Amino acid sequence: MKLSTSGANSINIFQLTAVFSMLFALIGFSYNVWRMEITEHNNNVRSAGFELLLQLSELESIIYAAHYDQNVIEGSPRKGWVKVNLIADLSVVTNTQIQTAAEALKTSWQHNWPHITDDEPRVTAMVAQIDNTRLKVRQLLSTLE
């Protein structure tokens, strides 16, 4: 049985429509998956950023309690170590600038914690390091979509 040329043309148009439909569906699905991955990444970074800001504030509070209040309970170096390590751990979810700042903060804490109760310049250096890390976190948060 032989198809007429109009019948063959309609089959070709049907096949082209099917191919283009599949192509557009594949492109749409791929874009959707990519967009969902970006959104999830941004949500993870945003959550880590907010938690970093909280932990940085708590570390600053520990330093102030140790130095200005001479409170060995609230200004405990063990609490400070927990905060510094948590900040370093959370920074892994963010970007390299914050990771570098968190490592610098950890190094600064490592060198300065024995002297935070009685050495104002060391306290000032620690707070400056916290402020630097906080600034980098805020900058990252402002770039997220």
Q: What is the mean pLDDT of each run of 10 residues along the chain (145 residues)?
A: 61 85 90 90 94 97 96 94 97 95 96 93 95 96 89
pLDDT at 93: 94
Contact yes or no for 105/129 (Cβ under 8 A): yes
Q: Report if pTM > 0.85.
A: no
pLDDT at 5: 60
pLDDT at 14: 82
pLDDT at 20: 87
pLDDT at 11: 77
pLDDT at 44: 94
Domain that holds residue 81: 5-143
**81: its two tokens:** 């170590």
How far is it, in rounded angstroms, from Cα 134 to Cα 55? 10
User: What domain count does the chain have?
Assistant: 1
SS3 category, 36 = helix
Q: Residue type at 54? A: L
**116: its two tokens:** 């935070």
Cα of first residue to Cα of last residue in the chain, in angstroms, is 60
pLDDT at 4: 57
How far is it, in rounded angstroms, from Cα 109 to Cα 103? 10
The CATH number given to whatever domain includes residue 118 is: 1.20.120
Residue with tokens 């959104």: 39
pLDDT at 6: 63
